[in-house]
A = this chain, B = another copy of it.
Amino acid sequence: MITADDLDDFAHRDWQHVEAGEGPVRIAVVGLGWWTRDRAIPAIDSSELCETTVAVSSSTEKAEDAADGHPTIEHGLTYEDFHDGTGADAYDGVYIATPNAVHPQYAETAATLDKAILCEKPMADSVERAEGMVEATRETTLMIAYRMHTEPAVRRMRELVQEGFVGEVVEIRGRMSQRLLEMFSDPDQWRLDPDLSGYGTSVMDLGIYPLNTARFVLDSDPVRAQASMSSVSEEFNEVPDERASFLVEFPENVVASCAASQNAHKGDRFTVIGTEGELSMRDGFHSSDRRKLELARGGIRTAIDVEPVDQMTEEFDYFADRVLRGERPHPDGEHGLVDMRALRAIYEAAERDEPVAIEA
């Protein structure tokens, strides 16, 4: 039966090896959009192993505004200051949360300054730029910010799959959607601008969740993609994928059927179906307070209301744990690059209207 330990250990940080209080790893946050201000900085404030000491943005005012009144932020820098190495003694790592296309330039500067790097996903706007970034950051720690890797529901799913809970995996289903224009009404926002976002918007920003989570849970990399995309609203006319449905083939005859839309009712689900059972996470990608893990095997079903950890706190502490131990994080640059190649193949499949192999 389910034991007390099963529930007690559900959200246990099985990945943490460094004691709370070691460090801290001092972080420069690069890019001060809503995500950094509302999610990342508060998450670091709650973390055991990190603190924010530097804020970097387009203007001194914006950066100093973030620093102002914050207990640990010592410097507000412009991007130019950052590239010049100003205040580099004040931080050990950088968190990059700028538009996709400019991730690499901050990562490259950080590498030059010998700083560890936590970069938002997707790691860049194109495969080529991501390859350059991997090359330029070889001498430092580069982690791509896949917060599902430290989400307890996903880690437990992964363990259950590895232990044979679902039998042989048959298929994966995953989707994520939101109303981007209700979150940010500006039609000129970077996520709708291919020069800043990359191949598109919905798959780059949301479809990457089921794609990468499938890779993580299967511990396997995808080999081929098929896709159908369309943009129907005027605000989406620069990108091909207001709506996207795509099939990603993995080795051993497992296909992940995914969908993503930046203009659909907010929701997400990720399901692994095997010969003997099924696991399904609801609302994990959106880190909703209602997230749930559903388990089924034979005629029996159960559901676990997952303790809503702060996914960003978990992610920052995982990053810091790896930095403090000098160990490579699981979602490193090479890992992120596989997603970039899969993303390119998905967009190409839709564009060329045929299945496209994912470069290994």
Contact = CB atoms under 8 A, between A and B. Distances in A.
Interface of A: 166-167, 170-171, 173, 175, 177, 179, 226, 228, 230, 232, 243, 245-247, 249, 252-253, 255, 257-259, 261, 263-265, 267, 273-278, 296-297, 353-355
A103 B257 CA distance: 33
A263 B261 CA distance: 30
Contacts of A297: 265
A265 B276 contact: yes
A178 to B, nearest CB: 11
A268 to B, nearest CB: 11
A353 B353 CA distance: 11
B265 A278 contact: yes
Q: Which 9 A-B pairs have the closest CB atoms?
A: A230-B253, A170-B264, A245-B255, A245-B257, A226-B226, A257-B257, A228-B255, A265-B278, A265-B277
Given A166-B265, A264-B170, A265-B167, A255 B243 contact: yes
Contacts of A228: 226, 247, 249, 255
A273 B278 contact: no
A267 B257 contact: no
Contacts of A258: 257
Contacts of A167: 265
Given A263-B170, A278-B267, A355-B353, A226 B247 contact: yes
Contacts of A245: 171, 247, 255, 257
Given A177-B170, A245-B171, A245-B247, A273 B277 contact: no
Contacts of A179: 275
Of A179, A261, A265, A297, chain B has the most CB atoms within 10 Å of the CB of: A265
A253 B179 CA distance: 17
A261 B354 contact: no
A247 B259 CA distance: 10
B257 A259 contact: yes
Given A173-B175, A226-B226, A247-B247, 16 more contacts: A170-B243, A171-B243, A171-B245, A173-B173, A175-B273, A228-B247, A232-B252, A243-B253, A245-B257, A257-B257, A259-B273, A264-B274, A265-B273, A265-B274, A265-B275, A265-B276
16 contacts: A170-B243, A170-B264, A171-B243, A173-B259, A230-B253, A232-B252, A246-B247, A247-B247, A255-B259, A257-B258, A259-B273, A264-B273, A265-B274, A265-B276, A265-B277, A265-B278
A296 B253 contact: no
A171 B261 contact: yes
